[in-house]
Copies of this chain bind each other. A is one copy, B any other.
Amino acid sequence: MPEKTAITPTRNDNFPEWYQAVITAADMAENSEVRGCMVIKPWGYAIWEHIQHQLDAKFKATGHKNAYFPLFIPLSYLEKEAEHVAGFAKECAVVTHHRLEAGPDGKLRPTGALTEPLIVRPTSETIIGAAYARWVQSYRDLPILLNQWANVVRWEMRPRLFLRTAEFLWQEGHTAHETEKEAVEETQKMLGVYEELAREHLALPVYIGRKSASERFPGAIDTLCIEAMVQDRKAVQAGTSHFLGQNFAKAAGIQYLSREGKKELAWTTSWGVSTRLIGTLIMAHADDDGLILPPRIAPVQVVIVPVTPKPETKDAVLDAAQKLATELRAQTFHGEPVRVEVDTRDIQGGGKNWEWIKKGVPVRVEIGPRDLAAGTVFVGRRDRGASSKSKESHPAATFASGITALLQDYHDSLYNRALAFRNENTKVINSKEDFYAYFTPKNADKPEIHGGFALAHWNGSPEVEAKLKEDLKVTIRCIPFEEKPEPGTCIFTGQPSAQRVIFAKSY
């Protein structure tokens, strides 16, 4: 008989429903009655706050400042870049009126029609470009290195919490440069920042590379990305950095007088990550007992659960728990005080413990009268599963001083597990037959069980991509950066291929 799990269904039984159940069990977010828009609950939002805070520090360390631009984009702005508007036209929330008035039936209806419709920003290249066009006169005004933390809206027909919602929270960096070289370097630098965020903060190993032409951001010359593998072996595009060339500068009129006294168009970039990162880390790390959080972005890193079976020892146990919390908070993890919660709620049984398991808190510490007598604490690491057998007794005296190392070890273990999983499920494929077999589910009942990532040669043809998407729902996730790309033969056409690319199904 299989062990009972806190989450039903399990990952194996039904991955999409397991995902939704993990979010509910951790009390992170829920669907609202507004189609495709989610409510981010405190536990989910606190994770976002930590991601924001830590990523923002990286932006500032690389010379960027924050600013804020309008939510609404005039339709005419969006139209200035033809590919761009084509890419977003089908998913735009459009504001057409600016007041409500009661009609003859007494019901309120929109009035005050706008002369030009306003689009709720799906992304801000065009509105920010218009500002940069006002700000830039000379090469001395460049570079402009700004970021904004904002909400954006892309009308989604098949929403999924965090991964794909009509409204989502994100940051969007927008920079303008004097030279192509500088802009290309910026695009790469910010991809590096995202890779570091994924690796060091979210414990996510990611492939980095560039998108094929058909997967590029609408209007971009080049889209770089980080691609993560989650536990159903699909890919999630977790962040993108776009080299926009002079396309948006031309559309918006970002012109500068060069050092040689000539009018030139600026070179621009944009780059973003969103609340989608939270969906990615859930799918990558959580297990059949619920969420497993990487410690750097966990709202609570250590929870202390006092066990107080007898009234006569209760005060002593609670005192010891508070004392330990104080000791732990005096320690730091990556420069921040360790985040500790003491769960003093008056709930009996294992309920409290299970709640923290489902919320993914990295380290759970139980202190009871026997621990107190023995000078120990009973420690559960969330990365080692929820079973009580995985808990260990530690000497209380040295537990606090070892917490930084423990959290780092926990982080590394999460990262290494995800890396091993990804490597096990990334296969070099050398024939079309193998490729189709790899991506065809063995069991029709479980369409989600398929190969994983495939490394295969491709001749660069968008027709091949379209066919694979249609046949297998497989796309090129990225053309990985390689120091020495090895040429070969496209397995679909027999034509020359410059290097292997990464194929996968994706969210």
Chain A residues in the interface with B (C-beta under 8 A): 30, 32-34, 37-42, 45-46, 48-49, 65-75, 79, 85, 89-101, 108-110, 112, 117-120, 127, 130-131, 134, 146, 150-151, 153, 155, 167, 169
Report the separation of the CA atoms of residues A32 and B165 in the bound assembly, to the nearest whole angstrom.
Answer: 28
Report yes or no: B98 in contact with A155, Cβ–Cβ below 8 A. yes
Identify which of B34, B39, B71, B134 contacts A68 (C-beta below 8 A). B39
Report yes or no: B66 in contact with A32, Cβ–Cβ below 8 A. no
Report yes or no: A72 in contact with B118, Cβ–Cβ below 8 A. no
Q: Chain B residues with Cβ under 8 A from A67's Cβ?
A: 39-42, 45
Main secondary structure of the interface of A (DSSP, over half): strand
Q: Chain B residues with Cβ under 8 A from A71's Cβ?
A: 37, 120, 151, 153, 167
Report the separation of the CA atoms of residues A404 and B134 in the bound assembly, to the nearest whole angstrom.
Answer: 39
Report yes or no: B39 in contact with A65, Cβ–Cβ below 8 A. no
Report the separation of the CA atoms of residues A146 and B41 in the bound assembly, to the nearest whole angstrom.
Answer: 9
Report yes or no: B94 in contact with A100, Cβ–Cβ below 8 A. yes
Q: A235: shortest Cβ distance to chain B, in Å?
A: 26
Q: A70: shortest Cβ distance to chain B, in Å?
A: 4
Q: Chain B residues with Cβ under 8 A from A127's Cβ?
A: 32, 34
Report the separation of the CA atoms of residues A74 and B65 in the bound assembly, to the nearest whole angstrom.
Answer: 35
Copies of this chain, tallied across the complex: 2
Q: Chain B residues with Cβ under 8 A from A130's Cβ?
A: 32-33
**28 pairs, A vs B, C-beta closer than 8 Å:** A32-B127, A32-B131, A33-B74, A37-B70, A37-B72, A38-B70, A40-B67, A40-B69, A41-B67, A42-B65, A46-B65, A46-B66, A72-B167, A79-B108, A85-B108, A89-B99, A90-B99, A92-B98, A93-B97, A93-B118, A95-B95, A95-B96, A96-B97, A97-B117, A99-B155, A109-B117, A110-B117, A112-B155
Report yes or no: B101 in contact with A89, Cβ–Cβ below 8 A. yes
Report yes or no: B49 in contact with A66, Cβ–Cβ below 8 A. yes
Report the separation of the CA atoms of residues A41 and B148 in the bound assembly, to the nearest whole angstrom.
Answer: 10
Report yes or no: A96 in contact with B110, Cβ–Cβ below 8 A. yes
Report the separation of the CA atoms of residues A91 and B100 in the bound assembly, to the nearest whole angstrom.
Answer: 8
Q: Chain B residues with Cβ under 8 A from A85's Cβ?
A: 100, 108
Report the separation of the CA atoms of residues A49 and B94 in the bound assembly, to the nearest whole angstrom.
Answer: 30
Q: Chain B residues with Cβ under 8 A from A155's Cβ?
A: 98-99, 112
Report yes or no: B91 in contact with A98, Cβ–Cβ below 8 A. yes
Do A146 and B42 form a contact, CB below 8 Å, given A71-B167, A167-B71? Answer: yes
Residue of B nearest to A96 (CB): B96
Report yes or no: A95 in contact with B94, Cβ–Cβ below 8 A. yes
Q: A441: shortest Cβ distance to chain B, in Å?
A: 33
Q: A477: shortest Cβ distance to chain B, in Å?
A: 27
Q: Chain B residues with Cβ under 8 A from A169's Cβ?
A: 68
Q: Chain B residues with Cβ under 8 A from A92's Cβ?
A: 97-100
Report yes or no: B70 in contact with A34, Cβ–Cβ below 8 A. yes
Q: A304: shortest Cβ distance to chain B, in Å?
A: 19
Q: Chain B residues with Cβ under 8 A from A151's Cβ?
A: 71, 150-151
Report the separation of the CA atoms of residues A40 and B70 in the bound assembly, to the nearest whole angstrom.
Answer: 9
Identify which of B70, B74, B91, B99 contacts A91 (C-beta below 8 A). B99
Report yes or no: A93 in contact with B98, Cβ–Cβ below 8 A. yes
Residue of B nearest to A169 (CB): B68
Q: Chain B residues with Cβ under 8 A from A72's Cβ?
A: 34, 37, 93, 167
Q: Chain B residues with Cβ under 8 A from A45's Cβ?
A: 65-68
